[in-house]
Structure 1
Amino acid sequence: MELKNDPAKDAIDAFAALAHDTRLAVFRLLVQAGPSGLSAGDIAQRVGVPGSTLTHHLAILERAALLRSWRVQRQIFYASDYDGTRRLIAFLMEDCCQGQPELCGSAILDSAACAPASGCPAPPPNALLTDAPLTDKAPR
């Protein structure tokens, strides 16, 4: 995912990606799954969406910096991009309460720290990490 160095544009892209019931369900599922993520097949089964349709939705979420992916042999795994999610929350809270986000309550601020920054466990050693969304179809 290439960030545009424009936080407002990045936020618009993230909200556009989340503005679909399937993508929102996938995003929430992967946030709950934690940094180890789930395989594309597991996501498809849990959300109840065919693999070919899911691939499209996963690519949109990944381009919006809300997911990351890696390959282990023939399987593609996806996990929440916690840094991207943190950037989105930070952008929203930046001007909260006249520039005093602490007035909004610790629950909102704590939600931005839902996962350790850059402390996510690494994918398996045999995983092929990607910087860009994978374009091939998810495994069946």
Structure 2
Amino acid sequence: MDKLQSLTAFGALSQETRLDVVRLLITSGSDGMAAGEIGDALGVKQNTMSANLSVLAHAGLVRSVREGRSIRYFADFDGIKGLLGFLMQDCCGGQKDLCQPFIDQVMCGC
């Protein structure tokens, strides 16, 4: 991920509902959630949720799959990993062993 993409992702995450959506989708793992389920879980109206999901998708933080009339959303772990990688690029002056505790904490092994 480059600087411009990272700025877009940070912009998307700088709004409370969108941050809550990403965290919720991370916890849902490979099952993801239908848009309506996300809105219900967070108490957000459908049109507002749709706009927020669009911003997150544009930022590369969520992805979606159409299921008939519904759309299921998932955390885009590649996008999230790209953002974290951008932040940690060249961490600790190239002394990777200093970054390892952080990497171990972030990696869930899933």
- Separation in 1, partners of 2:105, 2:4: 22
Pick from 60, 66, 71 the counterpart of residue 66 of structure 2.
Answer: 71
**Matched AA of 1:23:** R
Give RMSD over aligned pairs.
1.5
TM-score when scaled to structure 2? 0.92
Q: Residues 69 and 76 of structure 1 are in contact (CA less than 8 Å); yes or no, is this contact kept in structure 2? A: yes
- Structure 1 gaps of 5+ residues are 1-5, 117-140
**Matched AA of 1:26:** V
Question: By how many angstroms is 1:111 displaced?
Answer: 4.8
Question: By how many angstroms is 1:113 displaced?
Answer: 3.5
Question: By how many angstroms is 1:40 displaced?
Answer: 0.3
Question: By how many angstroms is 1:104 displaced?
Answer: 2.7
Question: By how many angstroms is 1:102 displaced?
Answer: 2.8
Whether 1:8 and 2:3 are equivalent positions in the alignment is yes
In structure 1, the partner of 2:13 is 18
Q: Residues 86 and 113 of structure 1 are in contact (CA less than 8 Å); yes or no, is this contact kept in structure 2? A: no
TM-score when scaled to structure 1? 0.73
In structure 1, the partner of 2:82 is 87
In structure 2, the partner of 1:51 is 46
- Separation in 2, partners of 1:115, 1:17: 26
- Separation in 2, partners of 1:114, 1:60: 26
**Matched AA of 1:114:** C
Count of equivalent residues: 110
